Homo-oligomer: A and B are copies of this chain.
Amino acid sequence: MNYISDPQAIETRSMEIIAAHLAGLKLTDQAVKVYSRIIHAAGDPDYAKIISIHPDAIAAGMQALKQGQSIYCDVEMVRTGINKRRLAEFGGEAHCLIADPGIAEQAKQAGITRSMAAMRAFAGKLDGAVLAIGNAPTALFEVIKIMQESQLRPALIVGVPVGFVGAAESKEYLVRNSPVPYITVHGNKGGSPIAASAINAMLYML
């Protein structure tokens, strides 16, 4: 069995194939990079039809990351997927509290999800930061609620919860109500690789 085993050749050929799926879309060069990384991570060109990027989102995210702002994640898989070595070059860190025993206890007592409790625990730190929510609709709803009830304003929300209960609704709610720029996708799809790849696309453009 012959196959390409050179990492750079795989990357280059992948991006060529993905470019064909973006033909006809009116995208900035930077948006092409974000779309491509997402489609690459999912192996699914249909993302080209459902990705939604606020006009200021990529610039805002790149500026925050360049300034060393940290990234707050809803689940460990998102944090794992982010290129933390690249992030650290600018001084930023990726944080996640979902596995924190204190958070689990708070969530249990309040009858809410652990990701909601984690977002509440982050709240004071979110101003100017980047949010990467790849799993939990409840985390995304909670972040929007925090913004509505405070002056806290993240630089960018990458909000791509996945699933059939609340995920699509949370993302539509983000598009309609977010006071800050966002990167999202419409419908049920999404997930940790989608969130992480959108972040990495920005890191690789810095």
Contacts and interface: CB of A to CB of B under 8 A. Distances in A.
Interface of A: 1, 3-7, 10, 13-14, 17-18, 40-44, 76-77, 80-81, 111-114, 116, 137-138, 141, 144-145, 162-167, 169-170, 173, 187-193, 196
A116 B116 CA distance: 38
Residues of A contacting B: mostly: helix
B173 A1 contact: yes
Contacts of A10: 113, 138, 163, 165-166
A190 B137 contact: no
Nearest to A45: B188
In the complex, the count of this chain's copies comes to: 2
Contact of A191 (B43, B111, B144): B43
Contact of A164 (B17, B111, B137): B17
A173 B1 CA distance: 9
28 contacts: A1-B141, A1-B144, A1-B173, A3-B169, A5-B138, A5-B141, A6-B112, A7-B114, A10-B165, A13-B164, A14-B165, A17-B164, A18-B164, A41-B162, A42-B162, A42-B191, A43-B167, A43-B187, A43-B188, A43-B191, A44-B44, A44-B189, A76-B80, A77-B81, A77-B196, A191-B193, A192-B193, A193-B193
Given A81-B77, A193-B191, A193-B192, A164 B43 contact: yes
A192 B77 contact: yes
A4 to B, nearest CB: 6
A171 to B, nearest CB: 11
Interface centre among A13, A114, A166, A170 (most CB of B within 10 A): A166
Contacts of A116: 5
